[in-house]
Amino acid sequence: MKILCICPIGIGNYLLCYPAFVVIKKAMPSAFLHLLALRSGIAGLAQGDPLWNGITTIDPTKIASSPLAPISVLAALRAEKFDASLNFFPSNTWQYNLFPYLAGVRRRYGFSYQVSPVYRLQKLCNNRIPVDVDLHDVYQNYRLAEFFLQKKTGKPDPVFPVIFTEEERRTALLDLETLSVNKLRIAVHPGSSAEHGMDAKRWPPDKFAGLTDMVCREFNAEAYIFGGPGEESIKNEVATNMRCAAHVIPPAPLSKTAALLSGCSFCICNDSGLMHIASCMGVPTAGIFGPTDEKRNGPFGRNSLVIRKNMEGFPVWTARNVGCRALAGGIDPMLSLKALSVEEAWAILRPWIVRYCV
């Protein structure tokens, strides 16, 4: 059987879909799994993974500048004659529904979303299950796998992809030791994706600096400040506002960044792809949440922590309205993050560090 697996746009989304990919492959060892990535970064992360028999990229953000490019890509997918396609969670936009239809896939699996206007073309997905609003994305995607396989999987322990090589791990450790002999290393990521207004997930940099200073002073640690493309100014702002030693990590390929994260004692992050990379690798990870719902996409590792300012009406973006960013009444999606003080975050963070990290 040939199966087209359509992945959501974020690196974190790919990681939270991956256990379901593995479940399908284990249930159908001879199946041909083909990844349709809607961002080149996801395709790069998947490259070389033996799970995939093929990888195709269509980036919807580039269609306007090159409107004819998807035609040849969809024609190539159509020639593959896929037996089924799966739209993994979250996938509440028209692209997820239209692309497999145009690729000639007859059995198209996905979710029924509570808020999905007609223009999102949900009806083109002809095998749907309702979203369970109480589930983490990992288990939501297990449900889709079970729906497709028509059998229970028993929710096995999740398997996540290998992001870096052993050589990259050794090199990363040497790089960290070159920066400092202090082995209590705090990875800090004060950024996040800015796409679709997701920069509203960022706790203010001066507060990140204050919290990181508290950790460094209390535990005699050193901070390593990470960031993705376009986040240099945020990283430098955190470092500038800190009184303790901080190392700003230069931009690097994702595999090297992941290897460096694996050499840290624990991580403090916004809700971001790097948060998911760290937690899925088993690095103790504290995620700072505001508008997004940790119940849906919080850090998945066993030794994870969520830091949140509890406020009425938050989180504002949940599984109930996934894919819909508009907020009624001019609500500021950053309101709870702005209200979260350094002292409140420290009161939540310190006991967790004592228990799991030092």
The domain segmentation of the chain, as residue ranges, is: 2-149, 166-356
Rounded CA-CA distance 205/250 in Å is: 17
Model pTM score:
0.95
pLDDT, average across residues 41-53: 96
Could you tell me the pLDDT band of residue 207, with boundaries at 50, 70 and 90? very high
pLDDT of res. 100 = 97
pLDDT confidence of residue 287: 99
Evaluate the omega torsion of the peptide bond into residue 130 and state whether it is cis, within 30 degrees of 0.
no
User: The tokens of 315 are what?
Assistant: 């989180």
Query: Does residue 64 surpass a pLDDT of 80?
Result: no
Whether 2-149 shares its CATH topology with 166-356 is answered: yes
In words, the CATH class of domain 2-149 is alpha beta
> What pLDDT shows up at residue 129?
98
The CATH number of domain 166-356, selected from 3.30.505.50, 3.90.950.10, 3.40.50.2000, 3.10.20.600: 3.40.50.2000
Supply the pLDDT for residue 67.
76
